């Protein structure tokens, strides 16, 4: 299964898979698009908020069925299905630009993104050796983060230079089509078929394994921290550092720039150092940056802490995902579906942060983030001991 990783064909097969991570990052356009859609159709804040919520909804619903589909038709074919769904999603707003078409497009985008997130990491294991999986996943996360950083720039360019922000959709649709053609034309050795049919109950039954359950919860918390950071940084800068909204809005940009840098550097480090050793150190770095925020009020100092925390967080998702799949490689499809299901944590943690903030003030945002990060530190120590055992 992994013999191709020692040949040039393995490297060539990895390239279209990494490009798939760029397509995976298209979902981050939802933040930029929501503002435009709200303006175009005069939507209320309540109605507009359903657009990003629809993305996380599908992670909960579609992830396990994706694992079942993957076991039937293969990982490569499942990724191609996700790319086809994404192309259709990107074309809908151009065919009929109405609020109903936009909501349908975002629903399809959420489904396509769920499928690709569940199928792409296992497909990566078809062309690389198990010891390189985590570093390759971190490299994939770097590519995804790069796309997220470019999305607002592409949308702004389409709006100002081309006169229509909606042109971001056919641009992304064309890129997705190129990704699909490239992957379809690239020979990728199919994984060995499972001896038994994958079932919904069988997937959920893996949570009875303490290791898999711990990793599932880890994904829930790391995605919660990721989304929670973007949610909490602007109000924290406004209330603690007394910045106006325009300046406070730069906080998430610092976070995502640091995450992009951290993912790239992490991929290089993880190619030489085991994830079990890097995991606790990454969590400690994230905790250090987050704790320091509690004692600082200068905007520059707080943003420096955000940068440090982001560097620590940037590779934890890939490490948890890789450690989980390597634990039971014969169940990689099912485990991947479970891990993607846990991405729904992005819809769980921010409301908790909001509730705690209402009770104890802006520091409540940091307290919730720290609680998640302390769990991740414990998970890192646990994974390290399991690997030694």
DSSP state for residue 128 in the 8-state scheme? S
**Res 32: pLDDT:** 65
Residues in the chain: 389
**Res 2: pLDDT:** 37
Band (pLDDT 50/70/90 cuts) for residue 3 is very low
> Residue 365 in contact with residue 302, Cβ under 8 Å?
no
**Res 257: pLDDT:** 87
Give 264-313 pLDDT, tens digit per residue: 999 899 888 888 889 999 999 999 999 999 999 899 999 999 999 999 99
Q: Which of the given ranges, 42-51, 52-61, 205-214, has the highest pLDDT on average?
A: 205-214
Distance CA 274, CA 387 (A): 10
Question: Could you tell me which of 363, 387, 348, 374 has the C-alpha nearest to residue 60?
Answer: 348
Distance CA 37, CA 158 (A): 15
Domains and CATH numbers, the chain: 1-192 (1.20.1250.20), 199-389 (1.20.1250.20)
pLDDT mean over 56-62: 84
pLDDT mean over 64-88: 92
Distance CA 230, CA 38 (A): 20
Rounded to a whole number, what is the distance in angstroms from the first to the last CA of the chain?
26
Say yes or no to pLDDT of 93 above 70: yes
Distance CA 302, CA 233 (A): 9
Q: How many CA atoms lie within 13 A of 197 on its CB side?
A: 4
**Res 60: pLDDT:** 84
Distance CA 125, CA 153 (A): 33
pLDDT mean over 14-32: 84
Say yes or no to pLDDT of 191 above 70: yes
Mean pLDDT, the chain, integer: 85
Say yes or no to pLDDT of 131 above 50: yes
CB atoms within 10 A of CB 21: 25
**Res 193: pLDDT:** 65
Distance CA 167, CA 128 (A): 36
| Helix, strand, coil distribution of the chain in percent, nearest 5 | 85, 0, 15
**DSSP characters for 100-120?**
HHHHHHHHHHHHHHHHHHHHH
**Res 135: pLDDT:** 86
CB atoms within 10 A of CB 362: 15
Question: Could you tell me which of 93, 87, 108, 138 has the C-alpha nearest to residue 270?
Answer: 138
Question: Could you tell me which of 154, 41, 47, 70 has the C-alpha nearest to residue 331?
Answer: 70
Give 328-365 pLDDT, tens digit per residue: 888 888 888 899 889 887 778 888 888 898 899 889 99
Band (pLDDT 50/70/90 cuts) for residue 19 is very high
Give 156-189 pLDDT, tens digit per residue: 777 777 777 788 889 899 999 999 999 999 998 8
**Res 4: pLDDT:** 39
Q: Which of the given ranges, 33-42, 157-166, 233-242, has the highest pLDDT on average?
A: 233-242
> Residue 240 in contact with residue 302, Cβ under 8 Å?
yes
**Res 287: pLDDT:** 97
Helix pair 275-293, 363-388: axis angle to 10 deg: 160
Could you give the percent of the chain with pLDDT greater than 70? 91
Could you give the percent of the chain with pLDDT greater than 90? 36
Residues 6+ apart with CB under 8 A from 371: none
The reported pTM is: 0.79
Phi-psi region of 96 (alpha: psi -120 to 50; beta: other; left: phi over 0): beta
What's the distance, CA 352 to chain centroid? 20
- Evaluate the CA torsion angle 267, 269, 272, 274 in order and state its sign: negative
Distance CA 6, CA 44 (A): 55
**Res 102: pLDDT:** 87
In order of 78, 100, 188, the CA distances from 128 in angstroms are 19, 42, 11
């Amino acid at each position: 299964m992994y013999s191709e990783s020692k040949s040039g064909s393995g490297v060539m097969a990895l390239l279209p898979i990494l490009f798939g991570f760029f397509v995976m990052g298209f979902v981050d356009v939802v933040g930029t698009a929501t503002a435009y859609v709200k303006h175009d159709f005069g939507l209320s804040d309540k109605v507009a908020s359903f657009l990003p919520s629809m993305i996380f909804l599908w992670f909960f619903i579609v992830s396990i069925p994706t694992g079942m589909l993957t076991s039937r038709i293969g990982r490569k074919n499942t990724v191609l299905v996700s790319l086809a769904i994404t192309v259709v999603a990107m074309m809908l707003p151009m065919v009929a630009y109405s609020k109903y078409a936009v909501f349908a497009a975002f629903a399809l985008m959420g489904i396509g993104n769920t499928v690709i997130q569940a199928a792409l990491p296992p497909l990566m294991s078809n062309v690389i050796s198990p010891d390189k999986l985590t570093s390759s996943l971190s490299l994939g996360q770097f590519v995804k983060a790069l796309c997220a950083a470019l999305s607002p720039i592409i949308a702004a360019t389409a709006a100002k230079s081309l006169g229509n922000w909606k042109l971001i959709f056919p641009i992304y649709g064309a890129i997705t089509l190129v990704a699909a053609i490239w992957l379809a034309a690239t020979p990728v050795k199919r994984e060995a078929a499972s001896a038994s049919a994958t079932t919904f109950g069988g997937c959920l039954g893996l949570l009875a394994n303490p290791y898999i359950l711990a990793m599932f919860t880890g994904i829930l918390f790391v995605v919660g921290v990721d989304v929670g950071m973007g949610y909490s940084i602007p109000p924290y800068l406004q209330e603690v550092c007394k910045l106006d909204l325009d300046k406070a809005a730069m906080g998430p940009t610092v976070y995502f720039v640091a995450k992009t840098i951290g993912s790239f550097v992490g991929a290089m480090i993880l190619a030489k150092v085991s994830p079990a050793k890097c995991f606790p150190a990454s969590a400690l770095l994230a905790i250090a940056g987050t704790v320091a925020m509690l004692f600082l009020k200068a905007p520059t100092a707080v943003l420096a802490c955000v940068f440090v925390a982001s560097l620590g967080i940037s590779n934890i998702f890939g490490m948890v995902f890789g450690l989980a799949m390597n634990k039971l490689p014969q169940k990689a499809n099912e485990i991947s579906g479970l891990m993607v299901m846990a991405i729904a944590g992005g819809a769980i943690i921010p409301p908790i942060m909001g509730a705690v903030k209402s009770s104890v003030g802006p520091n409540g945002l940091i307290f919730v983030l720290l609680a998640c990060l302390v769990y991740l530190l414990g998970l890192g120590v646990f994974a390290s001991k399991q690997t030694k055992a």
